Chain A
Amino acid sequence: MILTGKKIIEEVRKNRIDISPFDKERITTNSYDLSLGDTIIRYKSDIIDPRCKPSYDEIKIPKEGIVLKAGDFLLGHSNERIGSDFYVPLIHGKSGTARMGLFVHITADLIDIGSHGVTTFQLYATLPVRLYPGMLIAQVSFWVPFGDIVLYKGKYQNSTGPRPSMTYKDFKYDIFKNKG
């Protein structure tokens, strides 16, 4: 079951859904609109190796925007801190964003219950597109869980900006351990 916009407002008021800052105007029928923060990350490595800590540049998006060429991949972030200990959030592009050929996540829409923080957008352009800080580019929906809840305590908790991948930490602790 997916929450309606009205239910999201009720649950934000009861502190069972965390969206901050929260603006009632951004509620849609089944979701809440998310805006693009002003910090962008661009990886510098020639080849990404999940075993190694990636090198990257952090860039501020100027008021006049930043242009992504077709094929560019950058990490951005939502201005809003989101999360819930009672519902499962899913991230989606806004239809207007998708119609420009811009992905806001790369097959990773699912957020763990109990995860709180600004969300990292995985921005992949299929057409040249200019992005402005503060523009509404994504939306979050909330889904009812089934079963006992164990909250997220992972490595991306309490993100305050775009967070590059931390797979090198998995490899440090050897994800292959005795698994054959």
Chain B
Amino acid sequence: MILTGSKIRDEIKTGNIFIEPFFDDQINPNSYNYRLGSTIKIFDGFDGEKAVFKEINIPEDGYVLEPRKMYLATTKEIIGSSKYAMSLIGRSSMGRYGLFLQVSANLGHTTSKHKWTLEIVAALPIRLYPGMIIGQVSFWKNFGTVKKYDGRYGHLNHPQESFVPLIHQNV
């Protein structure tokens, strides 16, 4: 079962859902709108065998993404839940511009709590602004006993590239 907006609000109050900063006007009928953080990380080639990412602050007047590149960013909010599983996606308003906010990895594990890394791919050139409302997170009831999340990413608050090394190929 997916939580309604009213239930999300109730569970923020009980502490079963954590969103910080939280603004009531970002609640939707069955999700919460999250905002884009202030930095973006861009793959910048290889140093020997090691993949290099450069991180930049998104200027107030925005940063233009190019199609067919992959960028990493984070949510502005720390988002988590001790009780519910999560699904983090984009908003329909950004999907209508062809902006992916994640690459087929929407599932957030119960008990993880952090600024989520966003895997951003743009189908069209698009300008993004720091702090803009860019996506939504929904909360889902569990069925069965919850085992605490002990993964490597679910506590990180910066845009974290994969711990799986990229392969350096001469192409």
Contacts and interface: CB of A to CB of B under 8 A. Distances in A.
B21 A179 contact: yes
Interface stretch (B28-36, B46-54, B150-158): B28-36
Interface string A143-162: 11111111110001000000
15 contacts: A43-B124, A48-B124, A50-B128, A106-B123, A110-B30, A110-B89, A112-B28, A143-B1, A145-B1, A145-B30, A147-B4, A147-B8, A148-B4, A148-B6, A149-B4
Interface stretch (B94-102, B107-115, B159-167): B94-102
A71 B123 contact: yes
Contacts of A50: 93-94, 97, 126-129, 132
Given A107-B101, A145-B1, 17 more contacts: A46-B125, A48-B126, A50-B97, A50-B127, A71-B67, A106-B123, A110-B30, A110-B31, A110-B136, A110-B138, A120-B96, A149-B6, A149-B29, A167-B94, A175-B133, A179-B21, A180-B21
Interface in A31-74: 43, 46-51, 54, 71, 73
Identify which of A108, A115, A149 gathers the most chain B CB atoms within 10 Å of its CB.
Answer: A108
B124 A146 contact: no
B19 interface: no
Given A107-B89, A145-B3, A47 B126 contact: yes
A74 B128 CA distance: 20
B20 interface: no
A171 to B, nearest CB: 8
Contact of A105 (B95, B129, B135, B138): B95
A165 B96 contact: yes
Contacts of B5: 147, 150
Interface residues of A, number: 47
A107 B31 CA distance: 14
B148 interface: no
A122 B10 contact: no
Listed from nearest, the 4 A-B pairs whose CB atoms lie closest are A147-B7, A108-B95, A147-B4, A165-B96
B45 interface: no
A10 interface: no
A40 B84 CA distance: 38
A56 B90 CA distance: 22
A113 B133 contact: no
A145 B8 CA distance: 11
A175 B132 contact: yes
B6 A49 contact: no
Given A50-B132, A88-B2, A145-B4, A107 B106 contact: yes
Contacts of A122: 95-96, 98
